[in-house]
């Protein structure tokens, strides 16, 4: 045993989990009261906003790191609300392209600005360099695993 290093890593994991959950809870509450929406819906809109040409259901699922079937349901509700549209894909009749509608893009723009503010306040305790340090560590963790 390497001097309790594995215990230290376990502590890191617990800290990661608790911090993420805490911030997620705050964001969920803000989203709910300010926009009557949920985090998963926001996440979908956010991914689509970064891909103006649209995304396939599978791509969306991989971007968000949630299961395929899950995305089906969330997109369904967003379509029902007119924020998202589904389009047939030229040359592959299995695939479906999902894209923001104008209403969806507008709704997202308003939310995204507030979202950035909430995060800014929530992470007030970290400055630029410290943030970069943590980002680097997290990136290395994610990349370490082929």
Length of the chain in terms of residues written: 146
Window 63 to 122, contacts with its own copies (CB under 8 A): 65, 116-117, 119-120, 122
- CB of residue 59 to DNA, shortest distance in Å: 6
Contact call for residues 46 and 104 (beta carbons, < 8 A)? no
Stretch of residues binding its own copies (CB under 8 A), selected from 23-31, 76-84, 87-95, 100-108: 23-31
Q: Which does 94 bind (CB under 5 to 8 A by kind): DNA, its own copies, none?
A: DNA
Q: Distances from the Cα of 12 to the Cαs of 19, 20, 119, 132, 134, in angstroms? A: 11, 12, 21, 17, 12
Tokens of 67: 């299961």
Helices 102-122 and 5-35: crossing angle, nearest 10°? 130
Residue 69 interacts with DNA (CB under 7 A): yes or no: yes
> Which residues of the chain form contacts with its own copies (CB under 8 A)?
3, 5-13, 15-26, 65, 116-117, 119-120, 122-128, 130-135, 137-145
């Amino acid at each position: 045993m390497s001097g309790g290093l594995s215990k230290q890593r376990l502590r890191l994991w617990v800290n990661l989990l608790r911090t993420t959950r805490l911030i997620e809870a705050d964001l969920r509450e803000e989203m709910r009261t300010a926009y009557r929406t949920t985090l998963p819906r926001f996440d979908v809109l956010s991914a689509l906003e970064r891909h103006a040409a649209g995304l396939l259901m599978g791509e969306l699922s991989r971007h968000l790191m949630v299961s395929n079937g899950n995305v089906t349901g969330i997109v369904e509700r967003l379509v029902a609300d007119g924020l998202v549209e589904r389009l047939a894909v030229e040359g592959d009749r299995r695939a479906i392209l999902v894209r923001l509608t104008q209403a969806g893009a507008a709704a997202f723009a308003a939310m995204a600005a507030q979202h950035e503010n909430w995060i800014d306040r929530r992470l007030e305790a970290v400055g630029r360099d410290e943030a970069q340090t943590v980002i680097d560590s997290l990136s290395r963790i994610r990349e370490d695993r082929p």
